[in-house]
Structure 1
Amino acid sequence: MRKRIVATALLGVLAMAGSAAAQDKLRLALVPKAMNNPFFDLARDGCYKAQEEIEGIECVYIGPGEHTELEQIQIVQDLISQGVDGIAVSPSNAPAMAKALEVAKEAGIPVMTWDADLLEEDKDIRATFVGTKNYDIGVNLAKLAQARHPDGGKICLQTGGAAAANHNERLLGIRETLSGEKLGDPPGEPLTGQNGWTEVSGCPLITDDDGNKAVQGLTDILAKEQDLTAFISTGAFTQWYDNAYRQAVEPYKDKLTSGEMSIFVADTLPMQMEQLKDGLSNGQVGQRPFEMGYKSMEVLKALVEGKDVEDPIYTGLDVCTPENADTCLAQ
């Protein structure tokens, strides 16, 4: 009996020790725009990999089930109330998120952005940004279009949330590169013939990061604009649902092959690369979400420890075409 009592007591001590050890870990939150998003799944994987490899941290990956601006802000407010040790967020609504992060900063919680940043006037709230130079995504998408269509033509742009700073920066990169002009603040004004490029009526298409809405928008505009030259999407949402995307684009495959029309999309997720190889897109400009998730944990830990960090921290791009599709992601 005494042995059983001692053993039970020992188990209790060990459990308490394990709990204390868990509490000693820094709880670092990675907040995506939505958790039903394959792009953010890769960032989650990077976050959990960092948890395995970086001593003393716990990755708290949490965000809205679907792309909902208000829910994302509520989640950040809840994390502040819980007293997490650091918060990295990809803002859906940059101005609104800035107000929430201001509260976190006042509470002594280090905050940073990843994937999408705050507006220029609010950037002093966060310590740094980890992710893509979003303007450059637009530049590279536009260069792909210029290479296929040097004389320009009719174009439709598709984007995420209207208030998402990252997508607006990509739109500006596309428009300034195609027009050869400076167009002011993101997202810039629609093209009206500069260098031969004209944005068709009804575009840019706003998707709110909704894959179904994105495919429907693509389907509708291709049917409406029979002489469309180029379709450019600033996010992977257009191609998330593989079967739906293929059904939408298959009728136009001959045009994509001949060069009569082109489709260029941001990101290089696995299904997107297969679509590219199958001739259902003409170019992809990819980010590195796994690295974003991993790096965000490194940076938050450094901030908690009072260390200086660079601002911004860019994670690079991969530019993929049918010609280099088998090797571009290794660059």
Structure 2
Amino acid sequence: MLKYMLSTALVAVGLAASAGGAGAADKYTFALVPKNTNNPFYDQALAGCKKAEKELAGQVECLYVGPGEHGGGDEQAQMIQDLITKGVDGIAVSPANAPAMAAALQGAAGAKIPVLTWDSDLLPEAAGERLAYVGTHNYEIGVNLAKIVMKIKPKGGKICIQSGGAAAANHNERMQGIRDTLAGKASTTPPGDRLAGQNGWTEVDGCPLYTDDDFPKSVQQMEDILGKYSDLDAFVPTGGFPEFLPDAYRNVASKYKDRIASGSLALVVADTLPVQIDLLKEGLASGNVGQRPFEMGYKAMYFLKDIKDGKPAPKDPTYTGLDVCTPENVATCIGGGS
């Protein structure tokens, strides 16, 4: 409770300061709301947001606010309600819990606050609560993770998928992409159909794993599952969770470096932050499929300004591109732009 009170107090202080500046200079205050603020992935989005703020030279303020840690999404939803009540000029949010966020956003339209989602979207039935999604084609992340796995293990095998959260729409879409691609058959809804022998692939008992974006937990899960199943053929996190603690990750992955090198174990991880590329270069992963969070934060500010200036909303969805990295192309795999 104290943590929540401190968080909302910080939102109120930030908004009060922003409101003063807005009145003096007609500055728009746009909130960039990540799932949590202790994640290096979202640091990249903040950097993009701040670059747009600098380029727009006093026309917008990037107000970066979110839970300190990723929980069930309730704290983030409450923060969104507070932002609406305080009257920010626009909101770009990465929903931690899609249903909870849809409910929290219901007052935005009435308050004439444009809303974009980024990184993670609302569920299709709630898409009307935002104008557009700006970010990764999450299903395609799963597809590309699975393609790397299949290249290493063409005959199939035993797999464990590690996800961020059971209610996170983006991770469910990525899991569906993995499962559909490995199975060779499309499923109807995220997170797809559990692999139980399709095309030679079977998910081991106890998986998928859910980290709730708790990085120490994700490393422990990785260590436990690889220890439990010595014949595991593939371990695939749908986010960079364990690699975001590089030293802890090294301690675990180094035990399997020979298996990774030989192709006995396909260890393929989502995201391509610099620390993750270093791990790939060290031979501690089989591949990475990365997003472009800097672009998400950067474009969200420009899109919200356009909307407030009376221009059309961006195309829904607006995808920001992917980077597919393997040991063979690791020196040149990171792109820029969409």
User: Do the structures match in fold with TM over 0.5?
Assistant: yes
1: distance between equivalents of 2:107 and 2:207?
A: 36
Q: Structure 2 unaligned runs (5+)?
A: 1-19
1:119 aligned onto 2:111: no
Aligned to 2:154, the other structure's residue is in SS state: coil
Shift of 1:236: 1.0
Give the number of equivalent residue pairs: 314
Structure 2 partner of 1:35: 37
- Asked which structure has the greater CA Rg, the reply is 1
Structure 1 partner of 2:326: 321
| Further displaced range: 40-49 or 103-112 | 103-112
1:97 aligned onto 2:101: yes
Structure 2 partner of 1:62: 65
Runs of 4+ in 1 over 3 A off after TM superposition: 18-23
Shift of 1:23: 5.0
Give the 3 Å change call, closer, same or farther, for CA 21–195 of structure 1 in structure 2: same
Counterpart residue identity of residue 54, structure 2: E
1: distance between equivalents of 2:333 and 2:173?
A: 24
Q: How does 1:151-300 map to 2 (within 5 A)?
A: 151-300=155-304
CA-based RMSD: 1.2
For residues 261-318 of structure 1, give each alpha carbon's deviation from its aligned partner in whole angstroms, at most 9, with x where no partner exists: 1100000011100000000000000000000000000111112122212111100000
TM-score by length of 2: 0.91
2: distance between equivalents of 1:40 and 1:22?
A: 30
1: distance between equivalents of 2:78 and 2:260?
A: 43
Give the 3 Å change call, closer, same or farther, for CA 193–45 of structure 1 in structure 2: same
Aligned to 1:124, the other structure's residue is in SS state: helix
Is 2:196–2:203's contact at 8 Å kept on the other side of the alignment?
yes
2: distance between equivalents of 1:20 and 1:87?
A: 16
Counterpart residue identity of residue 69, structure 2: E
1: distance between equivalents of 2:280 and 2:81?
A: 40
For residues 228-261 of structure 1, give each alpha carbon's deviation from its aligned partner in whole angstroms, at most 9, with x where no partner exists: 0000010011210011000011111110001111
Counterpart residue identity of residue 176, structure 2: L
Counterpart residue identity of residue 54, structure 1: L
Q: How does 1:73-92 map to 2 (within 5 A)?
A: 73-92=77-96
Structure 2 partner of 1:10: none
